[in-house]
């Protein structure tokens, strides 16, 4: 009987997630010396990590290769069927082959195994059958077997592909940490899109500088300082001394607190109501770090200073929003 009611659909979705989560959790016990051996083979690779797999394993292999390549381990995917018709020439003795097959008996992969071994390219396998031909032939085998597929017929690769993908991520992150791959390294291979903006943009790329910086001296009457805040449209102004040293900042929040205190804005100086020891940032710091500071301290603006504590720029949350960092 076909069930299309909401309760049945939700129950099926939840059962699938629970089954696959249990299969992934079971992998933890298999992160052992064999996993370490696979990592060491990859770390010693002088060429590329060549990932191969048929069908759904091929789709997972494509993703694993992409993750490896973007996290400091050069890799690419080769279709095993195409490998038998010329693409095997893409693999060299300096490469490491990572072969994916749930059964461990995929014909297209077994066909090219003798050639891979003949060129002395190290072979790592991921299968759900540790006693299979592929597993037994490999220099290092990673067991990604699952108790059951999420598919009720046990036919569609579901839990098994999820487990393989998770093991691939485990390899990629272990290699990333072993190589000391940094956020800056990651940015180099991700220059486009929102991720690239977060990783590559620096404060100096988006800050207001020169005449755009709201600046007033410490002796400026608050009423005049407010005119600068309004004119520069950043919701604040930096307060400096006679040597252009930053003393503090006066923000919209400071204004509200000042008005609540009942003082006469025409009779008080800005340095009497400013926020001293305010948060600052250097121009060569990533804009994402400026965002982190603002969020942690619950502020909406930052003064950018040089090594001598001279204001060289200013930015607020709207600048980060416009630049795509948020």
Rg value, the chain, Cα: 29
Domain ranges of the chain: 6-181, 203-323
3-class DSSP state for residue 97?
strand
Q: What is the architecture of the domain spanning 6-181? A: 3-Layer(aba) Sandwich (3.40)
Q: What is the C-alpha separation between 321 and 218, in angstroms, rounded? A: 31
Strands 236-240 and 246-251, sheet pairing: antiparallel
- Structure confidence at residue 193 (pLDDT): 61
Residue 48 structure tokens = 């590329």
Q: Considering the domain 203-323 in this protein, what is its CATH number?
A: 3.10.580.10
Cβ contacts of 207 within 8 Å, gap of 6 or more = 283, 304, 312, 313, 314, 315, 319
Task: Say how many C-beta atoms besides its own lie within 10 A of residue 321's C-beta.
Answer: 11
Q: Per-residue confidence of the chain (326 residues) as pLDDT tens digits? A: 677 899 999 999 999 999 999 999 999 999 999 999 999 999 999 999 999 999 999 999 999 999 999 899 999 999 999 988 888 899 999 999 999 999 999 999 999 999 999 999 999 999 999 999 999 999 999 999 999 999 988 889 999 999 999 999 999 999 999 999 877 677 666 666 666 666 678 999 999 999 999 999 999 999 999 999 999 999 999 999 999 999 999 999 999 999 998 888 888 999 999 999 899 999 999 888 999 999 999 999 999 999 999 999 999 999 988 888 77
pLDDT for 324: 80
Burial class (CB in 10 A: 0-12, 13-18, 19+), 314: buried
Q: Tell me how far CA of residue 147 lies from CA of 21, 26, 53, 159, 305, in angstroms.
A: 12, 9, 21, 9, 59
**pLDDT at res. 107:** 95
Give dist(CA 133, CA 3) in Å, integer. 41
Please state whether beta strands 49-53 and 96-101 pair in parallel, antiparallel, or not at all (unpaired): parallel
Q: Please name which of 297, 285, 298 lies closest in space to residue 325, comparing C-alpha atoms.
A: 285
Q: What is the pTM of this model?
A: 0.68
Are the C-beta atoms of 146 and 135 separated by less than 8 Å? no
Tell me, what's the pLDDT at 214?
Answer: 96
């Amino acid at each position: 009987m076909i069930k299309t009611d909401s309760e049945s659909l939700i129950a099926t979705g939840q059962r699938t997630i629970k089954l696959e989560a249990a299969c992934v959790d079971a992998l933890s016990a298999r992160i052992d010396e064999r996993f370490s051996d696979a990592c060491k083979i990859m770390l010693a690779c002088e060429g590329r990590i060549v990932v191969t797999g048929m069908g759904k394993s091929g789709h997972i292999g494509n993703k694993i290769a992409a993750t490896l390549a973007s996290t400091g381990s050069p890799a690419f995917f080769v279709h095993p069927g195409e490998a038998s018709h010329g693409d095997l020439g893409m693999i060299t003795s300096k490469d490491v082959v990572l072969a994916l097959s749930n059964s461990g008996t995929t014909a297209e992969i077994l066909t090219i195994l003798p050639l891979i071994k003949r060129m002395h390219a190290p072979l790592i396998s991921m299968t759900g059958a540790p006693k299979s031909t592929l597993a037994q032939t490999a220099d290092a085998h990673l067991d990604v077997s699952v108790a059951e597929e999420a598919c009720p017929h046990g036919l569609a690769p579901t839990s098994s592909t999820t487990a393989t993908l998770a093991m691939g991520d485990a390899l990629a992150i272990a290699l990333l940490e072993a190589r000391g791959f940094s956020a800056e390294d990651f940015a180099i291979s991700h220059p486009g899109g929102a991720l690239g903006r977060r990783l590559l943009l620096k404060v100096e790329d988006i800050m207001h500088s020169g005449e755009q910086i709201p600046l007033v001296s410490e002796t400026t009457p608050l009423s005049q300082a407010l005119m600068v805040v309004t004119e520069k449209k950043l919701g604040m102004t930096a307060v400096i001394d006679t040597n252009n040293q930053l003393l503090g900042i006066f923000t919209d929040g400071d204004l509200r607190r000042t008005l609540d205190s009942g003082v006469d804005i025409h009779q008080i100086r800005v340095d009497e109501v400013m926020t001293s020891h305010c948060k600052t940032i250097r121009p060569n710091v990533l804009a994402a770090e400026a965002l982190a500071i603002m969020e942690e301290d619950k502020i909406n603006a930052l003064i950018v200073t040089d090594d001598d504590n001279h204001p060289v720029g200013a930015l607020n949350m709207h600048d980060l929003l416009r630049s795509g960092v948020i």
